[in-house]
Amino acid sequence: GGGIAMQAALDEPERFGGLVLVAPASTSGFDFLPDEAAFQALAHPTPEQRLALARAAFRRPPGEDYVARLLEVVEAATYEHVEGAAVAMRDFSPELAPLATPALLVCGDRDKHVPLRNHLATHRAIPRCGLQVYFDVGHAPHAEVPDACAADVDHFLRGLK
């Protein structure tokens, strides 16, 4: 979602008053994967690898019901969807300097899906971008620290008015 939002704001900046990017896709592709085999495992995971990847989104799992619903969505994803998403993220490296839309990037310092260094690079690449990094949180700060995340997003959005 964050990658799509960034691209949309680049394409049609007049349509956006602000962007909230919650653990967005890396804007330097999958430079953190060690090799092509790691990418192929991501693009063509076994059912067990899919479930492990879903569980790895959390440093502090938000509860069994939440995780169960997420796993249902992951299990329902088609082969083509998983491969297409992986290829799109691998090739995602937009030029963000022209992005004039105010933005807030929210992430966790223990994100196993997109390393913190990649989030920091995205933050630096967007001219008007705030940053909120949560300590001991994974790829889903909205689920792991929902109250803090909501308060920080609310503060950002109120500042846009």
Q: What is the pLDDT of residues 144-158, one digit of tens each?
A: 999 999 999 999 999
In this model, does residue 15 exceed pLDDT 90? yes
Going through the chain in order, the beta strands assigned E by DSSP cover 19-22, 103-108, 129-134
Report the candidate in 8, 48, 22 with the shortest Cα–Cα distance to residue 113: 22
* Rounded average pLDDT over 29-53: 89
Output the pLDDT for position 52.
87
> How many residues in total does the chain contain?
161
Say how many CA atoms lie within 13 Å of 108 toward its Cβ: 22
